[in-house]
């Protein structure tokens, strides 16, 4: 995990070392075909890094990244052939074209779920390949330039190509490094691990995905252009839009490690020389040996080490010493976003009016109305299937109601995306805790802290304060996998608090807790309310709810059947009937006090 | 252009579509039951083409018969591949990761099969010479190439056999049940993992048979898969991921789209129509024409 | 016939069941009631084979079945009608019932089984060619019950058959369960949220609360015990 500024700069050192190593190899190697292999290592490492931005960090597995590679190559080369534009400028045009393509492709495609996304990305390079073939660009040869060849990226010395590709690699490493430590990086990793939780924590997932896609298209285009000039010399659709491009990208990333900037570098360093040497030595007798090697690498890695070599090695490293910054923020709960004061008790905060929602004919919610006031704890109870979680999903934006509206601070929020609702001040936890399993506890909360603190340092301080408020200060560097149920729920609550809400929706926060855990959680919820944040809580643990809440709303079969003070509500015959069935009251003589 | 010409394009497209349909049913069955997108489907088809070729040239077995003869060995191959490889891929419990992992596994498998075949059998294209490959039936204004016609009929027969299997036998119904509700299927005593193996075996056997039929009029080479795997995917998606009749209908439609595209676009752009249809379906109606909403996607 | 000994189950990262022990004798009708989140469905899954056990044993006819996958348990004569019905949506009613009698002993008696089910639920006979996915909630529950009966089971597990159904339909379902009980010597374990209907059918019952057995006793005792309400409403 990245710490203070010093640690971020320290992270640049390995990048510098790798570039240095690359330069050394460039100078040391003699034969021409050795330089070709070196250039290819840099090329595929860069392409792998580019792919990693959208598919590794953001988890959106793309099978069409070669589209950008090919666009970069073709635009640059066609500009050379057509208008004799120097490829140094043509690169820029190619990159722009690729970024525009990323926007055009990403816009409709990110709406698609999982497998459909992968299949859709597959289609674009195929179409481009056919179109290029058809337009007559089956073979575009880069013309040899006699005077000022360097202006046209033509070098006699193969080392120059090495340096060129190495520069692209270095730049992409820097880009990856920057992303990893930025707000975008955390947003991407969060949405990869759990998109719903990320949305609820205020991450604009669509925008994050689009930004990542654009950032991943650019280096692909650049390296595609370099590849065309350094290796191909004659550009064909198959060479730049073909399957082999995406295969090499995938192999390099899978072998090395997806989701880390060192993975593709490692993977390229291992796989490219191996396959090139094999091809050079036995390629004549065994045509297709490269494909067999790549295919076997994919199969073996996915079976035995799907996370890749880098992560495997990382697991052996002793964990870094915890760097504990001085605690600046007191262990107080942040209430409200900057400038907004929590309303006086009694003012309406959230207004639910006539909300109805049906799924396939089943009425999950029917004309539900109630109000949540400032500084209050409202409980929502009801038998299984009453619609409670559906209600929460409508309130925080995962679902749109069929009828009715929801108003927050007297502004309609119906139909807004969850991250927008979170930004306005409505936070949420989930029935089954939704963590980002590969991020530390602090990083989990950090994702929420970014909502109101774009800068890393301030967000970090805010996250630490939230964790201190719930009592998890000592576990900040742990992974969620090692936490108890109570700690996990506390972490989720801390993430919600870090978004600076006025209202928190808690979905069954007491489920699975021991008696002590229930008491601890209840005390915490009361403190949250006292600090000025309203709480709406769904719960089944009745004895706890009755003690905790100020008011109760009871749902049954999607309808609101009771509302009022807890002690009145649990004695309400309608409520007893909802829970135990209409025959119960008739059976039991007298109601216990 | 006359009505006769239009009819010709339609009929050709339909004939070709029949074989696509058979290929696609295999892919659709595998996806419907196991939620696996089998990238290697085209390569198994290629192996089917080669085996049919060797039966034809070595033993004089007519490819139309050969296509059926190769079904049992490919079924066993499919079972074997499932048992040896697919069950070992877990994805760590996350359905999305599992799908990604299986995609990559089958992609790797595809590479190995294609390139190993290139290594062992050389890239030289081969063909089966049959009497009917160059003859045609004449029906009114329309010419029906005999090889394609026979292939079409066989494809329908095989597809019909699969249909009967799925709807008339306990085992076939168990397969469909395992696809719908794996948990509940287990409660009825259905071994869901075995059903997955069965589905994969049948899927491979079907596509190999389709390859055998294709070999009656298409050249046989190691890279032939590339042309068809995408068509198969498109057919399955257009028909609806998870629906067998959908895959069949999708295959027919792709044949038609491919053929009719030639009316407006030149030959090289033939597949562009297919890909555009693909994207349109994905964006506008991802569940396809007959598909159900997917569970774990 | 069925014995749960000191069962501990973790589900979804939570401790769903702690130290649960209960017994069902051959031929008995046992009901387990309790509020939501008490662990009822986890209990059923532990018996049916859907969740791993953290500790404890599940014994069926004196045999430890904890290691058996759910499809193997079905072949022992245990029929599990799952929560939420889970009918096979793309199969029609008849095919669903045929799948209920998938195991060999049941398949032999398939024709008889179908007659029994259609007699119990005439509407299923009417709709036998209809796709299960297009049936109403109540009809799907009838189908799920019928599917369970088709297995000619020795032990029938019913997981919250009333869930998501309106009161009148629920009455019909419970009447059908009573009819099943009357017509054959079958052991039934019913898990339910609706207390009275479920307790009225049983011989003995247990009340589950936050993963533990809070109360147990025979039918009359439990029905008269106000502590049952306490388990639900905390008062």
CB atoms within 10 A of CB A448: 31
- Mean pLDDT, residues A125-141: 88
Show Cβ contacts of residue B38 under 8 Å, excluding neighbours closer than 6 positions. B27, B30, B31, B106, B200, B203
| Residue numbers in A near C195 (CB within 8 A) | 580-581, 584
C chain contacts of residue B183, beta-carbon cutoff 8 Å:
50, 70, 82, 86
Please name the member of B180, B188, B292 whose beta carbon is closest to the beta carbon of C74: B188
Dist. CA A588–CA C133, nearest whole Å: 40
* Spatial distance between the Cα atoms of B285 and C208, rounded to a whole number of angstroms: 46
Q: Which of C92, C153, C147, C91 is nearest to C120 (CA)?
A: C147
Closest Cα in chain B, distance from residue A191 (Å): 13
Q: C210 and C231 in contact (C-beta within 8 Å)?
A: no
* The CATH number of domain C2-233, selected from 1.10.8.50, 3.40.50.170, 3.30.9.10, 3.40.50.300: 3.40.50.300
* Chain C contact for A433 (CB, 8 A cutoff): yes
Of B127 and A221, the structure prediction assigns the larger pLDDT to: A221
Range of the domain at B70: 18-224
Q: Give the separation between CA C90 and CA C78, rounded to whole angstroms.
A: 25
Give the closest of C49, C87, C88 to B186, CB-based. C49
Q: Reply yes or no on whether the pLDDT at A99 is more than 90.
A: yes
- pLDDT, position A343: 63
From CA A216, how far away is CA A212, in angstroms rounded?
6
Positive or negative torsion for Cα A497, A498, A503, A506: negative
Give the CA distances from residue A234 to residues A139, A142, A144, A361, A394, in Å, rounded to whole numbers and listed in that order: 6, 6, 11, 60, 56
- Can you tell me which residue has the tokens 């707000």? A183
Q: Cβ C234–A580 below 8 Å, yes or no?
A: no
Q: Which chain B residues touch C105 with a CB distance below 8 Å?
A: none
pLDDT digits (tens, 9 = 90+) for B23-44: 999 998 998 888 888 989 999 9
Residues 346-405, chain A, touching C (beta carbon < 8 A) = 362, 383-385
Answer whether residue A158 shows pLDDT above 80. Answer: yes
Q: Is the dihedral of CA A289, A295, A296, A297 positive or negative?
A: positive
Show residues of chain C in contact with A583, CB under 8 Å.
Answer: 196-197, 200
- Kindly state whether C94 is in contact with chain B, defined as any CB-CB distance less than 8 angstroms: no
Least reliable range by pLDDT among A130-134, A333-337, A530-534, B112-116:
A333-337
**For residue A396, which of A441, A454, A345, A352 has the smallest C-alpha distance?**
A352
Cα–Cα distance for residue pair B115/A290, rounded to 1 Å: 8
Q: Give residue B166's pLDDT.
A: 92
Q: What average pLDDT does range A417-421 have in this prediction? A: 93
Mean pLDDT of chain A: 86
Q: What is the pTM of this model?
A: 0.86
Residue B190 pLDDT: 93
* Identity of the residue in A113, A288, A306 whose CB atom sits nearest the CB atom of B119: A288
Cβ pair B104:A298 closer than 8 A: yes
* Of the ranges A69-73, A334-338, A372-376, the best mean pLDDT one: A69-73
Distance CA C179, CA C120 (A): 8
pLDDT at position C115 over 80: yes
Return the partners of chain B (3 or more C-beta pairs < 8 Å).
A, C
Q: Do C194 and A580 touch (CB under 8 A)?
A: yes
C15, C166, C196: residue with CB nearest A584: C196
Q: Cβ A119–B226 below 8 Å, yes or no? A: no
- Pick from A166-170, A454-458, A531-535 the range whose average pLDDT is largest: A166-170
pLDDT of A335 > 80? The answer is no
Three-class secondary structure of residue A274 per DSSP: helix
Give the pLDDT score at A208.
Answer: 94
A479 close to C (CB below 8 A): no
Q: Is residue A249 pLDDT above 80, yes or no? A: yes
Q: Provide mean pLDDT across the span A152-162.
A: 86
* pLDDT at A334 exceeding the cut of 60: no
pLDDT band at A406 (very low <50, low <70, confident <90, very high): very high
What single-letter DSSP state applies at residue C208? Answer: E
Q: What is the 3-state secondary structure (H, E, C) of B97-108?
A: HHHHHHHHHHHH
Residue A322 has a pLDDT of 45
Under 8 Å CB pairs connecting chains B and C tally to 74
What are the tens digits of pLDDT across the range B68-100?
999 999 999 999 999 998 888 866 666 677 777
Q: Identify the CATH assignment for A370-425+503-519+539-593 out of 3.40.50.720, 3.40.50.300, 3.40.309.10, 3.40.50.1780.
A: 3.40.50.300
Band the pLDDT of A584: cuts 50, 70, 90.
low
What residue in C sits closest to A382 (Cα-Cα)? C36
Considering only B51-55, B212-216, B260-264, C13-17, which range has the smallest mean pLDDT?
Answer: C13-17
Alpha-carbon gap, residue A44 to A275, rounded angstroms: 12
Q: Is the model's pLDDT at A592 over the cut of 50?
A: no
B189-207 residue pLDDT tens: 999 999 999 999 999 999 9
**Is the model's pLDDT at A580 over the cut of 80?**
no
Residue among C69, C99, C131, C143 with most chain B CBs within 10 A, to mutate: C99
Of A485, A488, A581, nearest to C194 by CB-CB distance is A581
C-alpha distances (whole Å) from A196 to each of A214, A393, A507, B85, C35 are 23, 11, 14, 32, 28
Residue C156, phi then psi, degrees to nearest 5:
-110, 120
Window A:487-526, CB contacts with B under 8 Å: none
Closest CA to A451 of A337, A346, A370, A552: A337
Predicted local distance difference test score (pLDDT) of residue A326: 40
Query: Please, which pLDDT band fits residue B296 given cuts at 50, 70 and 90?
Result: very low
Answer yes or no: do C88 and B190 touch at CB < 8 A.
no
Kindly state the helix (H) or strand (E) to which residue A553 belongs, with its residue range. strand A551-556
Q: What is the DSSP pairing of strand C2-11 with strand C55-60?
A: antiparallel
Q: Do B111 and A294 touch (CB under 8 A)?
A: yes
In a domain, B2, yes or no: no
CA distance C208 to B50: 63
pLDDT higher than threshold 80 for residue A103: yes
Lookup result for tokens 């949506």: C89
Residues recorded for chain A = 593
Asked if A116 is an interface residue toward chain B (Cβ–Cβ < 8 A), one would say yes
Q: Where are the domains of chain A?
A: 14-243, 370-425+503-519+539-593, 427-500
CA distance C84 to C160: 8
Cβ neighbours for B162, distance < 8 A, ≥ 6 positions apart: B25, B29, B202, B206, B244
Three-state SS across A276-320?
Answer: HHHHHHHCCCCCCHHHHHHHHHHHHHHHHCCCCHHHHHHCCCCCC
- Pick from C14, C36, C195: CB nearest A580: C195
Residue A96 has pLDDT above 80, yes or no: yes
- Asked if A541's CB is within 8 angstroms of C210's CB, the reply is yes
- CB contact under 8 Å between C196 and A542, yes or no, is no
Contact B254, B261 (CB under 8 A): no
Q: What is the reported pLDDT for C158? A: 93
Contacts C226 to A, Cβ<8 Å: 588, 592
On whether residue B142 sits in a domain, the answer given is: yes
Check whether A589 has a pLDDT greater than 70: no
> Subunits that touch chain A (at least 3 Cβ pairs < 8 angstroms)?
B, C
Q: How many domains does chain B have?
A: 1
Q: How close C105 comes to chain B (CA, Å)?
A: 11
**Residue C235: is its pLDDT beyond 60?**
no
The Cα C140–Cα C143 span in angstroms is 5
pLDDT of residue A324: 44
Q: Which of A402, A404, A427 is nearest to A337 (CA)?
A: A427
Residue A586 has pLDDT above 80, yes or no: no
Q: How far is A79 from chain C, CA to nearest CA, in Å?
A: 56
**Percent of chain A surpassing pLDDT 70:** 91
Which residues have C-beta within 8 Å of that of residue A10, sequence separation ≥ 6?
A: none
Sheet holding A411-412, edge to edge: A362-373, A348-359, A403-408, A411-412
The predicted-structure confidence for B227-248, as pLDDT tens digits, reads as follows 788 888 889 888 887 788 888 9
Give pLDDT, residue C53.
85
Token code pair at residue C144 = 């799920």
pLDDT at A333 over 60: no
Whether A258 shows a pLDDT value over 70: the answer reads yes
Average pLDDT over residues B126-148: 83
Using a CB-CB distance cutoff of 8 angstroms, which residues of chain B are in contact with residue C96? 177
CB spacing of A542 vs C35 below 8 angstroms: yes
CA B83 to chain centre: 21
Q: Which of A325-334, A347-356, B211-220 has the lowest mean pLDDT?
A: A325-334
Q: Does A583 touch chain C (CB under 8 A)?
A: yes
Residue A97 has pLDDT above 90, yes or no: yes
Which residue would you say has higher pLDDT here, A65 or A305?
A: A65
pLDDT 10s digits, A463-492: 999 998 898 888 888 888 888 888 999 999
pLDDT band at A2 (very low <50, low <70, confident <90, very high): very low
- Whether the CB-CB separation of C207 and C33 falls below 8 Å is answered with yes
The answer to whether the CB atoms of B282 and A250 lie below 8 A apart is no
Does ipTM surpass 0.85 in this model? yes
Cα A269 from Cα A272, distance rounded (Å): 6
Q: What is the pLDDT of residues B152-175, one digit of tens each?
A: 998 889 989 999 999 999 999 999
Calpha distance B42→A145 (Å, rounded): 44
Q: Do B187 and C80 touch (CB under 8 A)?
A: yes
Q: What is the mean pLDDT of residues A342-350?
A: 76
Q: Of A35-44, A318-327, B53-62, C60-69, which range is least confident?
A: A318-327
């Amino acid at each position: 995990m990245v710490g203070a500024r010093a640690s971020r700069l320290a992270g640049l050192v390995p990048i510098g070392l790798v570039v240095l190593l690359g330069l050394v190899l460039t100078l040391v190697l003699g034969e021409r075909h050795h330089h070709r292999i070196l250039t290819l290592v840099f090329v595929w490492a860069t392409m792998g890094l580019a792919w990693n931005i959208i598919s590794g960090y953001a988890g959106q597995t793309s099978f069409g990244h070669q589209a950008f590679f090919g666009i970069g190559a073709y635009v640059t080369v066609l500009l050379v052939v057509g208008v004799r534009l120097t490829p140094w400028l043509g690169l820029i045009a190619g990159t722009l074209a690729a970024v525009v393509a990323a926007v055009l492709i990403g816009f409709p495609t990110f709406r698609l779920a999982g497998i459909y996304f992968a299949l859709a990305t597959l289609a674009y390079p195929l179409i481009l390949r056919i179109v290029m073939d058809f337009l007559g660009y089956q073979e575009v040869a880069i013309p040899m330039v006699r005077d000022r060849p360097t202006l046209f990226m033509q070098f006699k010395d193969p080392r120059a190509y090495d340096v060129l590709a190495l520069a692209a690699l270095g730049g992409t490493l820097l880009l990856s490094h920057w992303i990893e430590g930025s707000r975008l990086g955390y947003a991407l990793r969060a949405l990869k691990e759990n998109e719903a939780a990320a949305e609820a924590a205020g991450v604009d997932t669509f925008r994050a995905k689009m930004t990542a896609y654009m950032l991943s298209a650019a280096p692909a285009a650049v390296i595609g252009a370099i590849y065309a000039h350094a290796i191909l010399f004659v550009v064909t659709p198959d060479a730049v839009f073909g399957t082999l491009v995406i295969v090499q990208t995938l192999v390099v990333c899978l072998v090395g490690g997806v989701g880390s900037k060192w993975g593709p570098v490692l993977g390229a360093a291992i796989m490219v020389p191996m396959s090139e040497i094999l091809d050079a030595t036995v390629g004549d007798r065994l045509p297709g040996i490269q494909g067999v090697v790549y295919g076997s690498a994919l199969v073996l890695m996915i079976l035995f080490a799907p996370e890749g070599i880098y992560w495997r090695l990382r697991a052996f490293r002793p964990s870094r010493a915890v760097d504990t910054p001085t605690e600046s923020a007191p262990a107080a709960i942040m209430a409200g976003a900057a400038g907004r004061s929590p309303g006086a008790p009694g003012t309406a905060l959230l207004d639910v009016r006539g909300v109805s929602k049906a799924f396939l004919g089943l009425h999950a919610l029917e004309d539900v109305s109630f109000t949540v006031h400032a500084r209050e704890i409202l409980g929502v109870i009801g038998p299984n299937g009453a619609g409670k979680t559906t209600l929460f999903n409508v309130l925080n934006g995962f679902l749109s109601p069929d009828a009715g509206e929801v108003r927050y601070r007297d502004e309609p929020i119906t139909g807004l995306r969850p991250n927008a609702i979170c930004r306005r001040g409505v936070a949420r936890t989930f029935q089954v805790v939704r963590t980002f399993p590969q991020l530390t506890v602090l990083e989990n909360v950090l994702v929420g802290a970014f909502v109101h603190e774009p800068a890393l340092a301030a967000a970090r301080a805010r996250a630490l304060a939230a964790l201190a408020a719930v009592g998890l200060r000592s576990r900040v560097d742990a992974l969620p996998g090692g936490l108890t149920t109570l700690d996990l729920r506390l972490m989720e609550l801390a993430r919600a608090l870090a978004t600076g809400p006025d209202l928190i929706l808690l979905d069954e926060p007491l489920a699975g807790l021991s008696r002590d855990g229930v008491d601890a959680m209840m005390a915490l919820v009361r403190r949250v309310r006292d600090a000025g944040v309203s709480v709406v809580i769904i719960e089944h643990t009745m004895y706890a709810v009755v003690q905790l809440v100020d008011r109760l709303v009871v749902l049954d079969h999607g309808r609101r059947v009771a509302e009022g003070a807890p002690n009145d509500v649990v004695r309400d015959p309608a409520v007893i009937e909802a829970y135990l069935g209409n025959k119960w009251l008739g059976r039991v003589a007298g109601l216990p006090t | 252009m006359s009505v006769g010409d239009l009819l010709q394009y339609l009929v050709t497209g339909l004939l070709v579509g029949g074989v696509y349909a058979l290929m696609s049913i295999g892919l659709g069955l595998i996806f419907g039951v196991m939620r696996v997108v089998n990238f290697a489907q085209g390569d198994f088809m290629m192996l089917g083409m080669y085996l049919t070729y060797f039966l034809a040239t070595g033993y004089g077995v007519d490819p139309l018969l050969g296509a059926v003869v190769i079904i049992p060995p490919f079924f066993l191959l499919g079972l074997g591949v499932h048992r040896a490889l697919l069950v070992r891929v877990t994805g760590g419990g996350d359905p999305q990761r599992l799908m990604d992992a299986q995609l990559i596994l089958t992609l790797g498998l595809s590479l190995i099969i294609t390139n190993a075949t290139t290594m062992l059998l050389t890239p030289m294209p081969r063909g089966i010479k049959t009497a009917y490959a160059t003859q045609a039936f004449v029906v009114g204004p329309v010419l029906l190439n005999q090889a394609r016609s026979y292939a079409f009929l066989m494809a329908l027969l095989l597809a019909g056999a699969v249909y009967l299997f799925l709807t008339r036998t306990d085992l076939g119904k168990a397969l469909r049940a395992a696809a719908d509700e794996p948990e509940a299927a287990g409660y009825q005593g259905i071994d869901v993992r075995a059903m997955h193996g069965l589905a994969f075996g049948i899927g491979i056997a079907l596509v190999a048979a389709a390859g055998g039929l294709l070999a009656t009029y298409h050249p046989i080479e190691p890279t032939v898969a590339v042309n068809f795997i995408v068509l198969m995917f498109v057919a399955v998606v257009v028909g609806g991921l998870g629906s067998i009749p959908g895959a069949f209908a999708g295959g027919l439609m792709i044949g038609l789209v491919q053929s009719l595209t030639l009316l407006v676009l030149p030959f090289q752009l033939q597949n562009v129509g297919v890909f555009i249809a693909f994207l349109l379906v994905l964006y506008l109606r991802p569940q396809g024409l007959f598909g159900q909403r997917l569970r774990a996607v | 016939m069925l014995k749960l000994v000191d069962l501990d189950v973790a589900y979804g990262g939570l401790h769903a069941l702690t130290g649960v022990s209960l017994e069902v004798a051959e031929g008995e009708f046992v009901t387990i009631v309790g509020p939501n989140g008490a662990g009822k469905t986890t209990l059923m899954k532990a018996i049916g084979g859907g969740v791993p056990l953290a500790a404890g044993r599940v014994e069926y006819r004196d045999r430890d079945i904890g290691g058996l996958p759910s499809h193997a348990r079905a072949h022992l004569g245990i029929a599990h009608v799952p929560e939420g019905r889970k009918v096979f949506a793309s199969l029609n009613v008849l095919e669903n019932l045929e799948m209920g009698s998938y195991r060999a002993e049941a398949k032999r008696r398939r024709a008889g089984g179908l007659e029994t089910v259609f007699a119990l639920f005439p509407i299923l006979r009417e709709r036998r060619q209809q796709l299960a996915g297009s049936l109403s909630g109540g009809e799907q529950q009838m189908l799920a019950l019928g599917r369970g009966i088709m297995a000619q089971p020795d032990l029938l597990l019913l997981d919250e058959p009333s869930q998501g159904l309106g009161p009148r339909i629920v009455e019909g379902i419970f009447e059908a369960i009573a009819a099943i009980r009357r017509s054959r010597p079958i052991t039934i374990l019913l898990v339910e949220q609706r207390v009275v209907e479920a307790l009225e059918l049983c011989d003995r019952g247990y009340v589950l609360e936050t993963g533990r057995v809070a109360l147990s006793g025979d039918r009359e005792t439990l029905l008269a015990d106000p502590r049952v309400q306490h388990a639900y409403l905390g008062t």
